[in-house]
Amino acid sequence: MIQKVEMYQAVCDRCGRPCAEISGIVAWKTPEFARIAALESGWISINSGLYCPDCVEYDEETDSYKPKDKIRNEQIGHTESLAGKERGKVQE
């Protein structure tokens, strides 16, 4: 028979990306297993949050990782990716 089960997966508190993209495993039986797997995949735990490697930066002042600034980085990333695509089209 087929039975519905409750599973858990780590999701980045900043970008919302699930950890499955890195580990290849979509879900775990307990929240703690999901958390451990994420940390083993290079994710960072800050306070009570979990962040993928793309969403943290090293803070030399505190000698620890911190989440990137949400608004500023999204704006910069969006602008850079658009500019890159447009440059690529011109060169082709």
| Binding region for Zn ion (CB under 5 A) | 12, 14-15, 52, 55
Tell me the closest approach of the beta carbon of residue 3 to Zn ion, in angstroms: 32
What whole-number distance in Å separates Cα of residue 35 and Cα of residue 89?
A: 42
Please name which of 61, 74, 22, 76 lies closest in space to residue 44, comparing C-alpha atoms.
22
CA–CA–CA angle 3, 17, 59 (5° rounding) = 140
Please name which of 46, 53, 49 lies closest in space to residue 13, comparing C-alpha atoms.
49
- Closer CB to Zn ion, residue 15 or residue 39? 15
Tell me the closest approach of the beta carbon of residue 89 to Zn ion, in angstroms: 28
Tell me the closest approach of the beta carbon of residue 10 to Zn ion, in angstroms: 10
- Closer CB to Zn ion, residue 33 or residue 67? 67
- Closer CB to Zn ion, residue 28 or residue 56? 56
